[in-house]
Structure 1
Amino acid sequence: KIDTIGVETQRGVVKEERKMRYENSPYGVWNIRMFERLFAQSPYSWTPIGASQHIDSAAIAEFRQFYDTYYVPNNAVLVISGDFSETEARKLVDLYFGFQPPGPPPRRDSLQIPPLRGEIRDTIFDPKAQLPAVFIGYRTVPEGHTDSYALQMLMDILANGESSRMYRALVDRAQVAVQSSVFPYELEKVGAAIMVGVAAPGRSIDTVEHMMYAVIDSVIAHGVTEAEFAKARNIAESRFIADKKGTYPTALALARAYAFFENTELVNTEMQRFYSVRREDLQRVAKKYFGTPNRVVLTFIPSQAKEGN
C-alpha cells in the first residue's frame, strides 16, 4: 500500500541515509560523481539513492506508478533456502503470495551509451577527508561476461592483501599511500573497474596516481607470474566456498542468477568459469580494459588544503 504517511516517512529515511552514507562520509560522493561521468547520458549515470531535490519533489503518484510497474510477481524472484518441506513451502507461498495478480511486463529499453573520448578529470574538495585520494574508473563488462572472471582474478593480483602488487609498490616500498584497492562494479548491462589510492600524510596524490598506472603498465607489458595466477585462483575458490556456506548467501546467489540470466544452474558452474581462465587472459584483459586513456579520474582534496592555499 502506498499512502501519504508511508511516503513522507520513507522520504525522510532516504534523505538521512544519503546524508550519512554520502554527504557526511569521507569521499562519500565518489560513486555519484564517478557514475555520472563514466556512464553519462544513460540511466546508469544515476545512483539508486537519487538526488535530494528529486526525493523532495517526487509526487505520491510517481511512487504508486513505480510500485505498480515493478513490484509485481512476474518481475520478482522468490528463493527459499534451507531445510524445509517443498510441499509445505509451496502451500505457504500460495497462501501469502498467490492472490497477487501479475502485471504487464516492465519495459526494458535498450541501452546506448556514447563511448568515452579520452580522459575525464575532476577535483573535489572534501570537508570530511583527512587525506587526498584518487578514484580512477574504467568501463569494463557487465555481470556474467566471459571476461569478468579474468578481470576479477587480475584485480585480486593487483590489490587483494599485503602481497598484492599495488600494496607492495605504493604502501610497503614507496610508502606514498596508506591504502590502495581495485574492485569490480558489475551491473546488468554495464560494468566498471575502480582503482582507489589514498595518499600517505605529506605525499603527493599525483605520485600515487602515476604509480598505480605503472603497476598496471607492468602487467600489460609482462603479464603475471605463475605464483600470482595460482594465488588468484585460490582466492576465487575460497570466495566461492565462503559465499555458499550459509542459507542466506546461497539464496542470494540463486536469486541473482535467475534475476539476471533466468538460469539458477549458473551457481553450480561459476567456479568452472574461473578454472577456464588462462594466465595469458589476465594480461589480455589488462591491456583491453586498463590500457586506455578513456577513463574517469576523480581527485579528492581535503577542504582545509584549499583553505590553506
Structure 2
Amino acid sequence: MNYKLLGLCLLLMATATQAQEVDYEEYDLDNGLHVILHQDETAPVVTTSVMYHVGGKDRTEGRTGFAHFFEHLLFEGTKNIDRGEWFKIVSSHGGKNNANTSQDRTYYYEVFPSNELELGLWMESERMMHPIIDQVGIDTQNEVVKEEKRMRYDNSPYGQLLFTVAENLFKKHPYKDPNIGYMKDLDAATLEDVKAYSQKYYVPNNAVLVVAGDIDIPKTKAMIKDYFGPIPKGADVVRNYPKEDPITAQINAKAYDSNIQIPASIIAYRTPGFKERDAYVLDMISAYLSDGKSSKLYKKLVDEQKQALQVGAYNIAQEDYGMYLVFTLPVGETRLDTLNAEIEEEIAKVRDSLISERDYQKLQNKFESRFVNANSSVEGIAGSLATYYMLYGDTELINKEIEIYRSITREEMQEVANKYLKPNQRAVIDYLPGEGEEQ
C-alpha cells in the first residue's frame, strides 16, 4: 500500500471538510431584529436576506394562505418604492432577488454586486418599515396567487399530492391546510385583516437579517443600525397550535387528479419536527431506502422486479411535525396494493434488523459528501444561517450538524423505524386519474 498517497488523500479530505467551516458574527438590535454577518471576499457579491418566522400554519380558520399571499404582496411597493418598481431597481443595479414561503417561514433575498450592499439593506428595511398595503395591491396579488394555484397545483400532474398527504395526516394542526391557502379565504379577506396580519408578523423581533459576502463588517453594522434600527418592535408572537392525536390504525384514502394517466401509491407517516434527533435518523432511513439507483427500493422495484416506474422515500421536514412518505408509480398493470406490500417488506427489514455495516458506511459517506458540498455559494450560506437561527434555534448547526449524522448508529435507525414507520401509524393513499374536488 502506498501510505504516502493514503496520507495525502486523508489530509486533502480533512482540509476539504475544514474548508466548509462557516465563520459568522451575530447580534441583536434594540428592536429585537437578529443580525448575522458572514464575510467572504472570494467574489465581489453580497446577499442580503430577511427571514420572517411566519408561514402557512400561521393563520386562523377561514383565513388560510396569508403568509404566501404576503410573499407576493410585499413586492408591491413601499413608501419610497413605487408600485411595480421593485424588480426594475434590482435588475438595473446588476442584482437578482426572490422569495419563498413554507408552512413555517417566509424568506426574501437579494444578490447584488458588493458595492450595492447599501441598496439591498435599504430595500429590505423599506419592506419591513414602509410597505404599502392597500386594496389595489390586494386585488392585484389575489389574481397572481390564483393563477399560480392554477398552474402549479390545479393543472399540474400530481400537483395536489402533498395537500392530500397533509389532510390525511393532520386533523387539528394547521398543517392540514395547503400553504397556498384556499382561494375562498383570500377572496373573503378584508383590508383590515391583511393590515393586522402585517403588523403581527412582519416586525423586526420576528425576523432575522443575514448579510453574507464581500463586506466590510464595521461599515455593514453601521448601515444596518441606520436602516433597521428605527423600525419599531412589534408585540411578541405567541403560538399555541393544537397537538395531533397519535395515529393508531391505518388510514385508507383515495384522491383523484384529472391531470394524470398513471396512478400513484402514497404511504405516509406523521413524524417529529425537524429539530428532534429522530428527524435526523429518518433522513438517514430515507437515504437508505431510496436515494440513488443502488438504494433498496429503487433496486428492488424499478431495476430487479420492474414493478415501478419510479419510487422515492421522502422525509419532509417541518417545524412542528414532519411527513415521511413513500411515493410510487406502477409499471403497466401492477396493482398499487402489490407495490405497497413490497415497500412494507423493505421497511419491515429496517424495523426488524440492523442494516449492514457496508450499507451504513455508504450512508455515512453520502452524508459526509452532502456536508462538504453544502454551502458552496454565499447565497446558500445566507439561507442556511437564517434557517438554523430562526427555525432550529442554533446558528452553529451550519458547522456542526454533520456531527449529528455521524453519531447516528445502526441500532438507532432500527429503533426509530419501529417508533414511526409501522403499518398502524400510516396513511395509504391511492392517487388516481379522475376528477378531483375544487379547492
- The TM-score range, normalised by the shorter chain, is over 0.9
Say how many residue pairs are matched. Answer: 304
- d(CA) in 2 for partners of 1:135, 1:65: 39
TM-score by length of 2: 0.67
Match of 2:143 among 1, 12, 26: 12
2:324 is the alignment partner of 1:197? no
- d(CA) in 2 for partners of 1:228, 1:285: 17
In structure 2, the partner of 1:3 is 134
- Tell me which moved more, 211-220 or 94-103: 94-103
- d(CA) in 1 for partners of 2:147, 2:372: 36
Match of 2:416 among 268, 272, 285: 285
When you count helix as a share of all residues, which structure comes out higher? 1
In structure 1, the partner of 2:397 is 266
- Tell me which moved more, 158-167 or 133-142: 133-142
What secondary structure sits across from 1:129 in the alignment? coil
Query: Match of 2:294, as an amino acid?
Result: S
2:192 is the alignment partner of 1:61? yes
Contact in 1 for aligned 2:247/2:424 (Cα 8 Å) = no
Query: Match of 1:246, as an amino acid?
Result: S
- d(CA) in 2 for partners of 1:261, 1:202: 45
Alignment of 1:74-93 (within 5 A): 74-93=205-224
Greater Cα radius of gyration, structure 1 or 2: 2
Contact in 1 for aligned 2:297/2:346 (Cα 8 Å) = yes
What secondary structure sits across from 1:77 in the alignment? strand
Contact in 2 for aligned 1:154/1:232 (Cα 8 Å) = no
- d(CA) in 2 for partners of 1:243, 1:122: 38
- d(CA) in 2 for partners of 1:19, 1:229: 43
Query: Match of 1:212, as an amino acid?
Result: I
Query: Match of 2:208, as an amino acid?
Result: V
Contact in 1 for aligned 2:172/2:242 (Cα 8 Å) = no
In structure 2, the partner of 1:307 is none
In structure 1, the partner of 2:383 is 252
Match of 2:433 among 285, 302, 306: 302
Query: Match of 2:313, as an amino acid?
Result: V
2:204 is the alignment partner of 1:73? yes
- Cα-to-partner distance string for 1:71-127 (whole Å, 9 max, x where unaligned): 000000111111211111112222332221110011221542122231111112221
2:145 is the alignment partner of 1:21? no
Aligned-pair distance for 1:218? 1.7
In structure 2, the partner of 1:105 is 236
- d(CA) in 1 for partners of 2:348, 2:393: 38
Contact in 2 for aligned 1:180/1:198 (Cα 8 Å) = yes
2:255 is the alignment partner of 1:149? no
Contact in 1 for aligned 2:200/2:234 (Cα 8 Å) = yes
Higher relative contact order (CA 8 A, sep 6+): 1
What secondary structure sits across from 1:9 in the alignment? helix
Aligned-pair distance for 1:68? 0.6
- d(CA) in 1 for partners of 2:133, 2:297: 49
- d(CA) in 2 for partners of 1:267, 1:111: 30
- d(CA) in 1 for partners of 2:343, 2:327: 9
In structure 2, the partner of 1:116 is 247
Gaps of 5+ in 1: 305-309
- d(CA) in 2 for partners of 1:297, 1:23: 22
Gaps of 5+ in 2: 1-131
When you count strand as a share of all residues, which structure comes out higher? 2
What secondary structure sits across from 1:293 in the alignment? helix
Aligned-pair distance for 1:69? 0.3
Contact in 1 for aligned 2:174/2:241 (Cα 8 Å) = no
Query: Match of 2:410, as an amino acid?
Result: R
- Cα-to-partner distance string for 1:222-248 (whole Å, 9 max, x where unaligned): 221112111111121122222211111
- d(CA) in 2 for partners of 1:301, 1:293: 23
Aligned-pair distance for 1:52? 1.7
- d(CA) in 1 for partners of 2:378, 2:418: 39
In structure 2, the partner of 1:211 is 342
In structure 1, the partner of 2:359 is 228
Give the superposed CA RMSD: 1.5
Amino-acid identity (%): 34
